[in-house]
Amino acid sequence: MFTFCRLTLVVTIAGLAYGCERASPAPTGLDAGVQTASQGPAASASGEVSDQTVRTILGAGDAGFVPKFMSSHTIGNSAIFERDGKFVTIGGTGNTCCSLQVDGGFPGQGTIVNVQQLDPAGDIKVDFAQAGFGALGDIGVTRGGGPERFTILSTGRNPRNLALTLVEDGGKVGIGTRDPSANLDVVGSARVRGDLTVFDGRVHLGGTATPAGRLQVSDNFSGFGPSHIIQVHNIDPTGDITVDFASSPIGVLGNMGVIRSRGGRPDRFVILGNGRSPTSLPLTLREDGGNVGIGTADPKRTLDVNGDGRFSGNVAVAGDLAVTGTKSSVATLSDGRRVLLYAIESPQNWFEDFGTAELRDGKAWVSLEGVFAETVNTGASYHVFLTPNGDCKGLYVAERRPDGFLVRELGRGKSTVGFDYRIVAPRRGFETVRLHELP
């Protein structure tokens, strides 16, 4: 506890000047009385002399506190406390850690520090500086160079490129929430203008369940505008819009998306684009037994195509082929025109073969070609059509066997003449199929 015995102040009544004169401390801790005396003219800070009323101001305070005027003639403790010449506390006395400490705790007042800028156009910031460098960063409201915004380590105020770390001691950071449940909990939209890398973790968009893979996207937005869940958008109007599938150390094994026109080819949507499958991976659609639709949203078969199709190679069908139109072959004429040739249709599965043989002494045995014989059932009935190539009494099939047939001349003739034949036999395994009805 300290006691001011007498502090003589020159109070400027008319607002011209002020000065002070300090007397030595009293030997006792008793407060002295207040005395007022006329001291005559007093000198101002500029050296001017004016008549002033000199008052004797007395008061008491605690050691370490910066004094303040309690009234026009008394002084006491202010809210500022100084310890050891280096620790300053506002609102308390317990600071032993830093140059300035502000203690709150005023009933009904939640704000501890209020940084107010009187200039309506000026920034409202707290700077963090180091001797020799100046400001290393700041925090506050920036008004220049764009719209008003609250910044931490704002542009141009971080000459050493210091990293920004929020709660490095294991706490949690919330944006848009007062109760963060993760290291970074953002309630609202986020935008990243650059790379986003997730190390040794999983990303789940649209849900809270543990993702089955590294990235899982769930559509949990009821009534949320567009029906799509993921949109791949390329800002470059001429750039490809693809999703690549890569493996180390090979690189991209395939991709899916839109390839822009180049090399005379138009814009196109591709899966496993040209040159992007170095290991020549096959393309499999729905290997789990589901249906694939082209031109239809409701495929009824494993592959349901609604529209025209074109193949520039061979087509192998391991099953039935049913068409509602015609099955045609394309023939190119000498003048370059192309015409269609139509297949002969039958209500039953028949295979046929053609050949030429010769009748000697009125008879001829014709053996069936071995491969053809394996594709048909010649054990059952089959048909042979004969056309003689010379004058004779006529020809007929005298005997049919699984491996061939016997041809004779009518009327027991003994002519030697060539003839053409056509054999039509039922396809092996389809002997009883006739005019099969579609479901």
Lowest-confidence region among 15-29, 155-169, 205-219, 422-436:
15-29
258 vs 269: CA distance, rounded Å:
4
Using one digit for the tens of pLDDT, what is the confidence trace for 319-333? 888 888 888 899 999
228 pLDDT more than 80: no
Domains of the chain, with CATH numbers? 2-102 (no CATH), 241-305 (no CATH), 350-426 (2.60.40)
181 vs 185: CA distance, rounded Å:
6
Average pLDDT over every residue of 115-140: 85
- Measured between alpha carbons, how far is residue 78 from residues 6, 34, 90, 301 in Å? 19, 21, 9, 88
pTM for the model stands at: 0.45
Instruction: Give the three-state DSSP class for 2.
Output: strand
231 pLDDT more than 90: no
Instruction: Give the three-state DSSP class for 303.
Output: strand
Instruction: Give the three-state DSSP class for 375.
Output: helix
Lowest-confidence region among 30-39, 145-154, 170-179, 239-248:
30-39
The pLDDT value recorded for residue 32 is 39
CB atoms within 10 A of CB 9: 19
Average pLDDT over every residue of 135-148: 84
Are 305 and 294 a contacting pair, CB within 8 Å? yes
435 pLDDT more than 70: yes
Banded pLDDT at 427 (limits 50, 70, 90): very high
Are 363 and 409 a contacting pair, CB within 8 Å? yes
1 pLDDT more than 60: no
Average pLDDT over every residue of 385-403: 96
The pLDDT value recorded for residue 245 is 84
105 pLDDT more than 70: no
The pLDDT value recorded for residue 95 is 81
Comparing CA positions, the residue from 139, 163, 136, 143 lying closest to residue 151 is 139
293 pLDDT more than 60: yes
Backbone angles phi, psi at 410, to 5 degrees: -65, 155
Find where tokens 């070609």 sit: 369
Q: How many residues does the chain have?
A: 439
Cα R_g (the chain), whole angstroms? 52
Average pLDDT over every residue of 232-240: 83
Q: Can the peptide bond before residue 67 be classed as cis, meaning omega within 30 degrees of 0?
A: no
Q: DSSP labels for 204-245?
A: EES--SPPSSSEEE----TT-S-S-S-----SSTTS-EEEEE
388 vs 417: CA distance, rounded Å:
7
Using one digit for the tens of pLDDT, what is the confidence trace for 72-101? 889 989 889 998 888 898 878 878 788 888
- Greatest mean pLDDT among 155-164, 215-224, 346-355: 346-355
Are 241 and 222 a contacting pair, CB within 8 Å? no
Average pLDDT over every residue of 378-402: 94
The pLDDT value recorded for residue 202 is 77
Using one digit for the tens of pLDDT, what is the confidence trace for 41-55? 555 555 555 555 566
Q: DSSP labels for 166-190?
A: S-TTS--EEES-SS--SSEEE-S--
DSSP letter assigned to residue 91: S
The pLDDT value recorded for residue 391 is 95
The pLDDT value recorded for residue 36 is 42
Banded pLDDT at 8 (limits 50, 70, 90): very low
CB-side exposure of 318: number of CA atoms within 13 Å? 1
Average pLDDT over every residue of 385-405: 96
The pLDDT value recorded for residue 290 is 86
Comparing CA positions, the residue from 22, 18, 7 lying closest to residue 44 is 18
DSSP letter assigned to residue 371: H
265 pLDDT more than 80: no
